[in-house]
C-alpha cells in the first residue's frame, strides 16, 4: 500500500472510466435490461457483451483499453532505468518479475479457481490479468533495451507473425472451434484450458468456449506496446496540443489500418486477431487523446474526478468484484423486497455488489491507500 504521488490525471480517470464500466455500470444495466425485454434493452445488452464472433461491440474495447493503459505507465515507471548504471543489480528484474507473477497469480485466483484447491477447476491461462502480465513483461523489456524504432519494428513483427500463422498452417480458417489458435491452446493447455468440461473423471473441450490465449499473446504484447508508445508521447516534452494531435493522428491511422486488414483477416476479439489489435488500439489512442485534452489541457477535471476512485485502485476493483460475492449480503438483508420488485429484484442485488465494492474503493481512496503490484 502506497501513498499518492504525482500522476497523469487523465490516465487515472480513463482507467477509472474503464473499470467503472466493467465493475459498476455494465453489471447493473445488464440486469436492468433483462426484463422486460424491449428492442432498446436487447440492443443495449448486445453492446454490453462481446461480439459473438466476427465484428466489434462497444464492450470489446474494455479489455484492450485495460492492457493499453498498463503500457502507458511503463515509460513513466521505468524512465530512470534507461541509464545503464541503474539497471545493475537485482532490483530492476525483481520489480518486473514480481509484477508478472502477481498478475498471473491474481488471474488464477479470479478465473483459475486457485483457492478451490481442485486441479479440475484450475486454468493455466484464461484471464485479462494474465494477458496484461505477458504484455507487460515483453513491453517493459523492449522499452528498456530497444530504441523506439526497434520497439515499433518488433510490434510489427508480432502482428505479421500472427497473421502469417493463420495464413499458412492455419489455412485462413477463422471458424470458432477449429482455428489454429484454438488448436494450439488445446495442445498446450490441454485439460487446464478454460472451457474444459469434466464428467465421469474424463475431460473434453467445450465447443462453446472460443477465446484463445497462447497465439493471441503475440497481439496482447502489441496492445501493451501500443500503450507504451502512447506513454512515450505523453512523457516527451511536446506541447500539450501537439500531444493530443499525435495521439489522435496515430489513433485514427490505426483504426483505418485495422479496417483495411480486416478485408483479409476479420476483426475477432475472442481470437485477438491482428486486425482487431490495430482497430482497438486505434480506439484506445483516440480515447487517451480525448481524456488528455479534457482533463490535462482544458482542466475540466472536477466532473470526472470521482472516477479516480476506480482508476487509482484498478486491480483491487477488478479482483474485489470478481472474487468476493457481496450479493449474498443484499440477499440476506433485502430478500423481503423481492415480492415488490419482481423482475427488478436482481437489479437491486447486483447494485449491492457494485455499491459495496465502490464503498471499499472509496474508503481506500479517502485514506490515500493505493494497492500496487
Radius of gyration of the chain (CA): 21
CA distance 285 to 199: 45
Q: pLDDT over 70 for what percent of the chain?
A: 97
pLDDT greater than 80 at residue 86: no
CA atoms in the 13 A half-sphere facing the CB of 282 = 17
Nearest to 31 by CA among 341, 370, 371, 356: 341
301 CB-near residues (< 8 Å, 6+ apart): 9, 13, 295
Residue 115, pLDDT > 90, answer: no
Is a pLDDT exceeding 90 seen at residue 70? yes
Q: What is the pLDDT of residues 138-171, one digit of tens each?
A: 999 999 999 999 999 999 999 999 999 999 999 9
Higher pLDDT, 62 or 7: 62
pLDDT above 50: residue 1: no
Q: For residue range 171-183, what is the model confidence (pLDDT) as tens digits?
A: 999 999 899 999 9
Q: Note whether 142 and 227 are within 8 A (CB).
A: no
| Digit-coded pLDDT (tens) for 225-274 | 999 999 999 999 999 999 999 999 999 999 999 999 999 999 999 999 99
Q: What is the pLDDT of residue 85?
A: 67
Looking at 78-82, 181-185, 325-329, which range is the least confident one?
A: 78-82
Give which of 39, 34, 41, 59 is closest to 49, Cα–Cα.
59
Q: Which of 31-35, 70-74, 288-292 has the lowest mean pLDDT?
A: 31-35
Exposed/middle/buried for 119, CB within 10 Å: 0-12, 13-18, 19+?
Answer: exposed
pLDDT above 90 coverage of the chain, percent = 83
Look at residue 4 in the predicted model and tell me its pLDDT: 43
Contact in structure between 53 and 269 (CB atoms under 8 Å): no
Distance CA 284, CA 208 (A): 29
Distances (CA, A) of 93 to 96, 99, 224: 5, 10, 19
| φ, ψ at 173 (rounded to 5°) | -90, 115
How far is Cα 280 from Cα 12, in angstroms, rounded to an integer?
20
Give pLDDT, residue 117: 81
pLDDT digits (tens, 9 = 90+) for 186-196: 999 999 999 99
CA distances from 43 to 39, 48, 236, 344 (A): 6, 9, 42, 19
**Cell numbers describing residue 139:** 513491453
Q: Return the residue matching grid coordinates 478454460.
A: 194
Q: Is the dihedral of CA 334, 45, 54, 139 positive or negative?
A: negative
Does 373 score more than 80 pLDDT? Answer: no
pLDDT of residue 264: 96
Average pLDDT, the chain: 93
Q: Which of 207-211, 221-225, 252-256 has the lowest mean pLDDT?
A: 207-211
> In this model, does residue 87 exceed pLDDT 80?
no
Which cell goes with 60?
A: 470489446
- On the 0-12 / 13-18 / 19+ scale of CB atoms within 10 A, 75 is buried
- Whether 3 shows a pLDDT value over 60: the answer reads no
276-286 pLDDT tens trace: 999 999 999 99
Q: How far apart are CA 331 and CA 339, in angstroms?
A: 13
* pLDDT 10s digits, 337-356: 999 999 899 999 999 999 99
Query: Any idea what the Cα angle at residue 297 is, between residues 367 and 14, rounded to 5°?
Result: 50
The answer for residues whose C-beta is within 8 angstroms of residue 104's C-beta and 6 or more apart is 129, 130, 133
Q: Shortest CA distance to 286 belongs to which of 228, 242, 246?
A: 246
Cα angle vertex 229, ends 227, 231, to 5°? 70
Q: What is the pLDDT of residue 6?
A: 53
Q: What angle do CA 36, 37, 39 make, to 5 degrees?
A: 135
Look at residue 7 and tell me whether its pLDDT is greater than 90: no
- Report how far residue 73's alpha carbon sits from residue 227's, in angstroms, rounded to the nearest whole number: 8
- The SS3 of residue 219 is helix
Residue 236 has a pLDDT of 94
Nearest to 137 by CA among 188, 71, 77: 71
Position 80 scores a pLDDT of: 82
334 neighbors 348 (Cβ within 8 angstroms) = yes
Q: Are 14 and 287 in contact (CB under 8 A)?
A: yes
**Does the pLDDT value for residue 2 go beyond 50?**
no
Could you tell me which of 316, 295, 318 has the C-alpha nearest to residue 306?
295
Amino acid at each position: 500500500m502506497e501513498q499518492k504521488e504525482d500522476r497523469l490525471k487523465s490516465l487515472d480517470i480513463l482507467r477509472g472510466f474503464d473499470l467503472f464500466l466493467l465493475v459498476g455500470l455494465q453489471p447493473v444495466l445488464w440486469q436492468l435490461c433483462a426484463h422486460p425485454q424491449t428492442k432498446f434493452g436487447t440492443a443495449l445488452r448486445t453492446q454490453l457483451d462481446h461480439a459473438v464472433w466476427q465484428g466489434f461491440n462497444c464492450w470489446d474495447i474494455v479489455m484492450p483499453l485495460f492492457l493499453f493503459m498498463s503500457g502507458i505507465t511503463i515509460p513513466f515507471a521505468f524512465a530512470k532505468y534507461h541509464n545503464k548504471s541503474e539497471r545493475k543489480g537485482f532490483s530492476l528484474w525483481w520489480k518486473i518479475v514480481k509484477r508478472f507473477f502477481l498478475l498471473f497469480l491474481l488471474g488464477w485466483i479470479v478465473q483459475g479457481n486457485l483457492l478451490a484447491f481442485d486441479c479440475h477447476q484450475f486454468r493455466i491461462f484464461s484471464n485479462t490479468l494474465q494477458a496484461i502480465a505477458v504484455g507487460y513483461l515483453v513491453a517493459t523489456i523492449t522499452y528498456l533495451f530497444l530504441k523506439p524504432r526497434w520497439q515499433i519494428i518488433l510490434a510489427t513483427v508480432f502482428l505479421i507473425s500472427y497473421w502469417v500463422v493463420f495464413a499458412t498452417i492455419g489455412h485462413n480458417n477463422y471458424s470458432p472451434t477449429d482455428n489454429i489458435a484454438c488448436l494450439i491452446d488445446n495442445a498446450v493447455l490441454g485439460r487446464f484450458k478454460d472451457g474444459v468440461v469434466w464428467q465421469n473423471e474424463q475431460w473434453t473441450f467445450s465447443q462453446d468456449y472460443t477465446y484463445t490465449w497462447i497465439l493471441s499473446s503475440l497481439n496482447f504484447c502489441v496492445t501493451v506496446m501500443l500503450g507504451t508508445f502512447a506513454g512515450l508521447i505523453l512523457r516527451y516534452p511536446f506541447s500539450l496540443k501537439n500531444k493530443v494531435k499525435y495521439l489522435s493522428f496515430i489513433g485514427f491511422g490505426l483504426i483505418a489500418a485495422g479496417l483495411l486488414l480486416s478485408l483479409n483477416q476479420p476483426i475477432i476479439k475472442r481470437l485477438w486477431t491482428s486486425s482487431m489489435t490495430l482497430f482497438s488500439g486505434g480506439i484506445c489512442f483516440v480515447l487517451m487523446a480525448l481524456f488528455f485534452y479534457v482533463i490535462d489541457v482544458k482542466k475540466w477535471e472536477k466532473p470526472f474526478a470521482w472516477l479516480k476512485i476506480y482508476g487509482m485502485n484498478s486491480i483491487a476493483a477488478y479482483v474485489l468484484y470478481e472474487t468476493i460475492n457481496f450479493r449474498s449480503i443484499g440477499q440476506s438483508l433485502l430478500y423481503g423486497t423481492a415480492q415488490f420488485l419482481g423482475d427488478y429484484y436482481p437489479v437491486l442485488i447486483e447494485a449491492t455488489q457494485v455499491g459495496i465494492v465502490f464503498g471499499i474503493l472509496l474508503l481506500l481512496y479517502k485514506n490515500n491507500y493505493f494497492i500496487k503490484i
